[in-house]
Amino acid sequence: MKIRTITTGIPFPYSPYQLQRAAEFNNACKKCLLDNGYEVQTTRVSSQTWNDVRQLDTILALETEAKALGIDFVNLGTILPETHSTESNLSRVVDVIVQSEILFTTVTLTTKAGYISTKIAENTANIIHQIAHRTDAGYGNLRFAALMNCPANTPFFPAAYWQDTRTNFGIGWQASDLIQQAFKDAINLEQALDNLKILMEKEGEKIVAFAEELAQEWGIKFVGIDVSPAPMGEDSIAYAMEEQLPGHFGERGTLTVAAGITRILRNLSLPLCGYSGLMLPVLEDIGLGKRSEEGYFNLDSLLLYSTVCGTGLDTIPIPGDASIPQITSILTDVATLSIQLKKPLSVRLFPVPGLKAGEMTQFQSPYLTNTAVMEI
């Protein structure tokens, strides 16, 4: 069983004490899980630094401190619309991403009143466009996303941001292998989903037990598991789902299987946090990448699946010459779904400079696979 992330949320990462304690706790949590047979891929720290204006040098210094403490990734949190510091903080995002390696951040497009901030959507599209053209092959957009109605204290990046009365932590697992196992020999989808619930609750109860022991020992609140299956590379959610499809991922029946998985995830008898829904990250999953390249689904398909899935449009390669109005329209389409369905969604787009729809990406990254650029 693979744990994708242990994420500790802290109020103020610029405090050396808080950052160091978070790193020490992450290491203790990682050791506990490793000692009990789990592979832990990353340890992370999230916060909410954008409530006030932060200078670029101060933000970048945080990365140096985090690296020295062995923290894999740090999330600065989300820039919310309609605050006194929104515009100032938006102006810093591109430089933060371009000049760092382990810092993540997001912008929230939806207001508390249930509207889309069109101006923020346009600014966010411009940020995506700039990052694409100021980082190698647009890779910097791995660490930036647009959020819509996303809850606080999500372990998975880039959506994570802290919001609590004190330090807390959550766990995000990988778990695509559990879907593969549950679906492989099931005679129908109903049995497959019953199998999945049993497997996930059995595995989750073990992880929760370890987490609660650590929470008590350290006095750090455990917020739960984000049970979203987080595919990576050959550990593919697409191939797992195909065990209960008559054909390939993207063909008829995909929506039904996606909805079934999400329903099971959200009704597990476990302490849940974050998305706890189905993730479909095209550039992180070799099966999704292959089926996209073969033309079995497109951007409209993913928008449809977003109505029943957990995350929205995640790691989607689009043409490098995509205009800011085109990117804005993608963002607002997903934000509209989020508002109408009252569910958390997010968008992480990769405009790839120099590539057109149908051409293959050439990322050299342990976190990304390669596939054909999608037509928009």
pLDDT in tens, 338-351: 999 999 999 999 99
Q: Under a CB-based contact definition with an 8 Å cutoff, are residues 65 and 94 in contact?
A: no
pLDDT at 310 over 90: no
Mean pLDDT over each residue of the chain, to the nearest integer: 96
Residue pLDDT, tens place only, 257-283: 999 999 999 999 999 999 999 999 999
Helices (DSSP H) in the chain: which residue ranges?
Answer: 16-35, 56-68, 86-98, 118-134, 176-184, 189-218, 237-241, 254-266, 286-293, 299-306, 324-341
What distance in Å separates the CA atoms of residue 203 and residue 1, rounded to the nearest whole number? 8
Say if residues 168 and 162 touch (Cβ distance below 8 Å).
Answer: yes
How confident is the model at residue 82, as a pLDDT?
Answer: 84
Tell me, what's the pLDDT at 53?
Answer: 78
Q: Do 220 and 23 touch, CB atoms closer than 8 A? A: no
Instruction: Compute φ and ψ for 203, nearest 5 degrees.
Output: -70, -40
How far is residue 265's CA from residue 178's CA, in Å, rounded to a whole number? 12
Mean pLDDT of 169-184: 96
Average pLDDT over residues 280-303: 97
Rounded to an integer, the average pLDDT of 286-301 is 97
Length of the chain: 376
Q: Which residue, 329, 278, 36, 73, is CA-closest to 176?
A: 278
- Euclidean distance between the first and final Cα of the chain, in Å? 37
Q: 195-247: per-residue pLDDT in tens?
A: 999 999 999 999 999 999 999 999 999 999 999 999 988 899 999 999 999 99
Is 80 exceeded by the pLDDT of residue 86?
Answer: yes
Domain ranges of the chain: 1-376
Strand partners, 46: 9, 75
Q: What pLDDT score was predicted for residue 45?
A: 98
The residues, ordered by sequence, that sit 6+ positions from 55 with a Cβ below 8 Å of its Cβ are none
Q: What is the pLDDT of residue 233?
A: 84
Q: Domain 1-376: which CATH class? A: alpha beta
Q: What is the pLDDT of residue 1?
A: 83
Reported confidence tier of residue 52, pLDDT bands at 50, 70, 90: confident
Q: Distance between CA atoms of 205 and 176, rounded to whole angstroms?
A: 17
How far apart, in whole angstroms, are the C-alpha atoms of residue 250 and residue 267?
25
Assigned token pair, 120: 């923020």
| pLDDT at residue 154 in the model | 96
Give the model's pLDDT for residue 282: 97
Check pLDDT > 90 for residue 187.
Answer: yes
- pLDDT band at residue 61 under the 50/70/90 scheme: very high
| Predicted TM-score (pTM) of this structure | 0.96
At residue 54 the predicted structure's pLDDT band, cuts being 50, 70 and 90, is confident
120-165 pLDDT, tens digit per residue, is 999 999 999 999 999 999 999 999 999 999 999 999 999 999 999 9
